[in-house]
Structure 1
């Protein structure tokens, strides 16, 4: 079992390829014509000393690597091909992804873009374990430094702004840590290469890639390339760390014993250290993957040896690959940042997907959260943002979409939609482009949370023509995007939301999921989409049993909510988490939704230890019974002012007017002054904002007025972890919960299959 390795930038030297150029004259002339200069002269003589410059190094090294491979290994049949950074292009060439000329054009553009980057530097840290290095960087406050190369257990390359790298070098030297500054012009494989990566991604759109004939392990993921993600990984590689150590560990897990390096010994020495000091990564084999239309069940003969193998295979493989995650398990958004950036980052670093809860946030707060996530997640990790339908202020919804587009947000969780809006259609369509084979690429993924089949159907169908035409008239989309919109649904990923915390229709999973799955079958047949629609399940997912049931029912993924807000990372107060930690399944109730108060929308909230649901329902009863505040009996008014609002309702109205004026909503004030019932609704809605604020602040003096969105799934979770380390919320982390839920669900499925076969 053999692997062939191709070196990257840094392995070049004057005189390289001298003998090869005499043999492969046709390829050398072809390369010189493409590059516009004499390649042989550059490599052998380097008269202008350009060989060490990135724009020249990368094409030259690509050609020499390719020629040596042609000479010595073209007829060999390795089990895998790998390359370090630039060398990955040679690995893909050898695997048949593209021809020699195409690969050179890709490398030429890549080298030019990377050479154009500036303002940063890199340094190799030697003799320090990775955990020690990370701690040193944290202790030194070097938050702008990224790890660029995980070369070996004791050789790591860091990248960042020039002045900060200089400080780190001086600091580490003073501590006796061996650190070597690298002669480069930019911080390669770091967050600072994002502009180059984005431009390269656009360049790659003009190329087609052939199916790989030999597996190639990607630097960015330490996992094999898939035929449908070559372009994505090539652009991601520029901004991602080179996962060389885990690449070799992956091969060790696949029983690779022989490693042959093209053109040198640098990689060979790295491999020797990794094999001596590291364990192999466990490789999962012989597990059937659930398809879109079948439950995730395996036969006894294909049963994995370890349950965690099955846990990573539950649900739709295509879904996991499209979103770049290990588990078909998501952490849904929760109002006003309870689904926090810290929670999302934690999930992403465990190869899972979470969504930041933007509901109730200002645009400035949303932008700050995006920036925070993008500072931390620089290696292509998966994350998403919530996009909440704003009935009252559609303009805000469009402004939110504009913000997402500004920051390149590729994944959104669409919630509370009953029909398509221009904002949502704009987001979807602005990410459409045509592949060379005629298929449509959807760069903007929408995960649609729905609780009714008729809403699911709206998302499963293409964007409404009327909205598409309006966006086209406003020049927000191109004519091509308008045409492509007829070929794809608004969303390929439908999340059926049964009874849940927060906004809910109180649906039953056993009824809703099959209904939407059947609808999916009909819609697929009608439109014949190239990509199958996937249907997942949310609501009531609080135990491994619930997860297992979801997958037995054929869910393509599961999404959790309530259980994640009682974790360390959740963006709510400790006082709320203390309350939630002790609830059982019967400790929730339904109350009016503040943002949909007038139309009777419902949210599921905490009942135990608070009076909010009773008081909120009282306000809605008064709203339906009376036509104005003046009609409410004086005794009731005094009770509201004393216990609910803590101030006169007249004062509340003045504060509400001030808030609306500051937002530029004078029209709403004028309407309310004309219609007393509308004024009453605005005053009552103040209480909902107030009760939310009390909960977020953890004001225990007003605990009875806490508004806490949660469902009974958290009560079930609490019972499941009772008597374990996870009983205390201070030991609960969203990613660890997700992994434990998936692994134990896999164990339950395994036990069930064994029973069925006995």
Structure 2
């Protein structure tokens, strides 16, 4: 393995980078525009003697380090397995890993240097010869608690930081210690990497609010923790770095503990190369246990660290190697998929209508290292916004969540309003559900998260996971955005020309979820036939369009037992999505009565009924039928809609039955109520079109039946509309005789982890059994 390390402030010198500026003229020009002065002149000639000032040093070093890295990539055509940077160098590590482009990194570094240069009254000193504990003991004994440890460069070279008078006061104390070889005051104006930079950290945090960061293509080691970054750590770590110690010794020990690793310093000088020699001679590798290894690398591991895992991802491993690999809950599914979404497990809790997949459910999943989607269908914008606020308050920056985005053919304006809401709150993962094709709102969402990095590769910040159950819909989502829609958005000024160009080179969806026998919108598909067909289609589309990033394919529908989950992974699913089993948990946003009904169901207790939101199109959803009249009544309404052009054409007896038994209200009173929810224009159309009016009245029943179920209205129990697939019946049978037999003991994260653990066990046992027949 190979790790690239980038030096920080102190490695600068006049004349640095002279062989680089002519090779990257466009980046140099960009740097000049951002900085307002010639970066080449500063580095090569330093005409005004500013290179030693922090606000100039940091942009200069960042630029030269970045150009050195790009030249290295260009000349060697190789990618490191890890990257790390010392203090300022961490920005170069993040740039190398794809967190941001060159220009974004320079803007951040420019602001960082500006804020740090404004710090006054502080001092720093390097102490050579003592270990960290010895220095802390002296500071404690001499009552120098105002001094912080700033840089742990190697076991015997440590930098302290604090108010200048205390750094000066400490000088004779340390110099009198026989173990100290050198106490060197550093030429700085501030107490960098200490508590005294708190105000600078706050201002830098405010500055970063306008920045978004992209997926890390290479694991990056963090100064503040000496552990690998996750995407959502970037802002918080860069703020903490200003006020916290640089844990360089532990960073290198951590990397050494991963195995045979070569370090290469990228940038100016050999400062870090020298420190590496000391660390290797004075410290031991930090060897991780299996559990800790999974904790850090389940979602972010570089493919190079685990050769067997890398081979498995590419499908190149030999049968004898496969037999020796022990499957775990964390190794199920695609590592690349988990890295893309910063997950520990390849497991998603899919969205369920009207917040049944609740904000509490989403938070539980995020905290457990999985992904949950809020079910926004049927919710008002204010309800969605309230849920987003809750989720963002409850989850940390490194915990993933997403929002559902439901196709609304009758109200495309609402799609646009929802997307605007998602933009406002920085929602960068959505689950596109029930779409029969691509819409303008989806394209706009995708476009606004695109950028082209310095290598020319298009990267997407706003990610779409599309649920599909038909090959032609899958093909639409795996194709570039339709030209007519892109041109329309461009002409309306909703996207830029650059975004329009980039949309031609990438698929609409980042990944797909193949939804078979589920409780959502489905075409009664069967996983065993649908999933392989979509996987083949994915491969064909990847070849056709030469996409640079893989479209991952997940499986949903029918997954209620470890055997079903295992079958999905064996068929080739990169991840799995559950829905029905989550509806019968503590966190599900439905009534206690519904959960009790669901707890009693078996695999045969579901039926198909018209989808209320797509009633006119004949779309179907799967619902609970045991003890309920809803499926039969809903299908009856759709049959009447197909047969007749108006309510008046229906015979008197049937009309009376619907009003008295189904609706418990008259058609007229319902229509009057609907006038409060539909626009004046829509009501006018319905007045002129009896069939449209009939559809509106019949669709009221679907809203009523869903609302009654969610509220637990006992008087309307037989009319409950409860979306559910047979997977829950299988899950109930699996849970019989355990503590999870009762829904009150089912928490969405716990049953997910149980599912994954037992799936791994099931697959290990099956493979062992198969091995016995070889």
Deviation at 1:56, TM superposition (A): 9.7
Task: Select 2:342's aligned residue among 315, 324, 329.
Answer: 324
Counterpart for residue 123 of structure 1: none
Deviation at 1:115, TM superposition (A): 9.6
Counterpart for residue 111 of structure 2: 109
Partner of 1:529: helix, strand, or coil? Answer: coil
- Residue by residue over 1:275-329, the C-alpha shift from the partner in whole angstroms, topping out at 9 and shown as x without a partner, is 99x997245856434767759x984545677642xx3222222211111112221
Partner of 1:577: helix, strand, or coil? Answer: helix
Matching of residues 64-83 of structure 1 within 5 Å: none
Matched, 1:281 2:301: no
Q: How far, CA to CA, are the matches of 1:96 and 1:416 in structure 2?
A: 33
Report if aligned partners of 1:113, 1:196 keep a CA contact under 8 Å in 2: no
> Which of the two has higher C-alpha Rg?
2
Matched, 1:528 2:549: no
Report if aligned partners of 1:494, 1:535 keep a CA contact under 8 Å in 2: yes
Q: How far, CA to CA, are the matches of 2:373 and 2:426 in structure 1?
A: 15
Partner of 2:613: helix, strand, or coil? Answer: helix
Task: Select 1:455's aligned residue among 473, 480, 485.
Answer: 473
Report if aligned partners of 2:14, 2:51 keep a CA contact under 8 Å in 1: no
Q: How far, CA to CA, are the matches of 1:102 and 1:598 in structure 2?
A: 49
Counterpart for residue 646 of structure 1: 664
Q: How far, CA to CA, are the matches of 1:587 and 1:187 in structure 2?
A: 61
Counterpart for residue 467 of structure 1: 485
When structure 1 is superposed on structure 2, of 440-449 and 278-287 the one drifting more is 278-287
Gaps of 5+ in 1: 9-15, 43-50, 66-77, 118-148, 152-180
Matched, 1:713 2:727: yes
Counterpart for residue 47 of structure 1: none
Deviation at 1:678, TM superposition (A): 1.8
Matching of residues 382-421 of structure 1 within 5 Å: 382-421=400-439
Counterpart for residue 610 of structure 2: 592
Q: How far, CA to CA, are the matches of 1:114 and 1:572 in structure 2?
A: 52
Deviation at 1:569, TM superposition (A): 1.7
Deviation at 1:240, TM superposition (A): 8.2
Counterpart for residue 120 of structure 1: none
Task: Select 2:221's aligned residue among 214, 217, 224.
Answer: 217
Deviation at 1:261, TM superposition (A): 11
Q: How far, CA to CA, are the matches of 2:677 and 2:256 in structure 1?
A: 62
Q: How far, CA to CA, are the matches of 1:445 and 1:110 in structure 2?
A: 30
Matched, 1:736 2:750: yes
TM-score with structure 1 length normalisation? Answer: 0.72
Distance 1:195-1:498 versus aligned 2 partners, 3 A rule: farther
Partner of 1:550: helix, strand, or coil? Answer: helix
- Residue by residue over 1:556-612, the C-alpha shift from the partner in whole angstroms, topping out at 9 and shown as x without a partner, is 221111111112222222221121122111111111111112222211111112221
Q: How far, CA to CA, are the matches of 1:461 and 1:95 in structure 2?
A: 27
Counterpart for residue 725 of structure 1: 739
Task: Select 1:193's aligned residue among 205, 208, 213.
Answer: 205
Q: How far, CA to CA, are the matches of 2:689 and 2:502 in structure 1?
A: 45
Q: How far, CA to CA, are the matches of 1:537 and 1:95 in structure 2?
A: 30
Deviation at 1:108, TM superposition (A): 3.7
Q: How far, CA to CA, are the matches of 2:98 and 2:387 in structure 1?
A: 42
Report if aligned partners of 1:299, 1:753 keep a CA contact under 8 Å in 2: no
When structure 1 is superposed on structure 2, of 369-378 and 438-447 the one drifting more is 369-378
Deviation at 1:350, TM superposition (A): 1.7
Distance 1:223-1:557 versus aligned 2 partners, 3 A rule: farther
Distance 1:104-1:608 versus aligned 2 partners, 3 A rule: closer
Counterpart for residue 677 of structure 1: 691
Task: Select 1:369's aligned residue among 387, 400, 413.
Answer: 387
Counterpart for residue 627 of structure 1: 645
Q: How far, CA to CA, are the matches of 2:106 and 2:645 in structure 1?
A: 75
Gaps of 5+ in 2: 19-38, 66-79, 120-149, 153-193, 261-270, 298-305
Matched, 1:658 2:672: no
Partner of 1:312: helix, strand, or coil? Answer: coil
Counterpart for residue 426 of structure 1: 444
Report if aligned partners of 1:291, 1:315 keep a CA contact under 8 Å in 2: no
Matched, 1:605 2:609: no
TM-score with structure 2 length normalisation? Answer: 0.70
Q: How far, CA to CA, are the matches of 1:753 and 1:329 in structure 2?
A: 22
How many residue pairs get aligned? The number is 641
Partner of 1:441: helix, strand, or coil? Answer: strand
- Residue by residue over 1:55-81, the C-alpha shift from the partner in whole angstroms, topping out at 9 and shown as x without a partner, is 799889999x9xxxxxxxxxxxx9988
Report if aligned partners of 1:337, 1:359 keep a CA contact under 8 Å in 2: yes
Counterpart for residue 122 of structure 2: none
Deviation at 1:735, TM superposition (A): 2.2
Partner of 1:487: helix, strand, or coil? Answer: coil
Counterpart for residue 543 of structure 1: 561
| RMSD of aligned residue pairs (Cα, Å) | 5.0
Counterpart for residue 494 of structure 1: 512
Q: How far, CA to CA, are the matches of 1:414 and 1:434 in structure 2?
A: 24
Report if aligned partners of 1:7, 1:261 keep a CA contact under 8 Å in 2: yes
Distance 1:103-1:394 versus aligned 2 partners, 3 A rule: closer
Q: How far, CA to CA, are the matches of 1:386 and 1:96 in structure 2?
A: 27
Report if aligned partners of 1:333, 1:561 keep a CA contact under 8 Å in 2: yes
Counterpart for residue 691 of structure 1: 705
Deviation at 1:369, TM superposition (A): 1.8
Deviation at 1:616, TM superposition (A): 1.4
Report if aligned partners of 2:337, 2:552 keep a CA contact under 8 Å in 1: yes
- Residue by residue over 1:218-264, the C-alpha shift from the partner in whole angstroms, topping out at 9 and shown as x without a partner, is 369975469xx8xx8655633789999998996697489xxx99999
Report if aligned partners of 1:286, 1:303 keep a CA contact under 8 Å in 2: no
Q: How far, CA to CA, are the matches of 2:579 and 2:710 in structure 1?
A: 17
Distance 1:411-1:103 versus aligned 2 partners, 3 A rule: closer
Deviation at 1:513, TM superposition (A): 1.1
Partner of 2:705: helix, strand, or coil? Answer: helix
Partner of 2:759: helix, strand, or coil? Answer: helix
When structure 1 is superposed on structure 2, of 502-511 and 707-716 the one drifting more is 502-511
Report if aligned partners of 2:659, 2:666 keep a CA contact under 8 Å in 1: yes
Counterpart for residue 71 of structure 2: none
Report if aligned partners of 1:197, 1:239 keep a CA contact under 8 Å in 2: no
Distance 1:563-1:112 versus aligned 2 partners, 3 A rule: farther
Matching of residues 247-266 of structure 1 within 5 Å: 254=258
Partner of 1:447: helix, strand, or coil? Answer: strand
Q: How far, CA to CA, are the matches of 1:341 and 1:243 in structure 2?
A: 36
Deviation at 1:196, TM superposition (A): 0.8
Q: How far, CA to CA, are the matches of 2:729 and 2:206 in structure 1?
A: 43
Distance 1:377-1:221 versus aligned 2 partners, 3 A rule: farther
- Residue by residue over 1:641-691, the C-alpha shift from the partner in whole angstroms, topping out at 9 and shown as x without a partner, is 33322222221111111222xxxx112111211222222221111111111
Report if aligned partners of 2:205, 2:235 keep a CA contact under 8 Å in 1: no
Q: How far, CA to CA, are the matches of 2:229 and 2:236 in structure 1?
A: 12
Q: How far, CA to CA, are the matches of 1:197 and 1:263 in structure 2?
A: 37
Distance 1:543-1:235 versus aligned 2 partners, 3 A rule: same
Report if aligned partners of 1:587, 1:712 keep a CA contact under 8 Å in 2: yes
Distance 1:381-1:111 versus aligned 2 partners, 3 A rule: farther
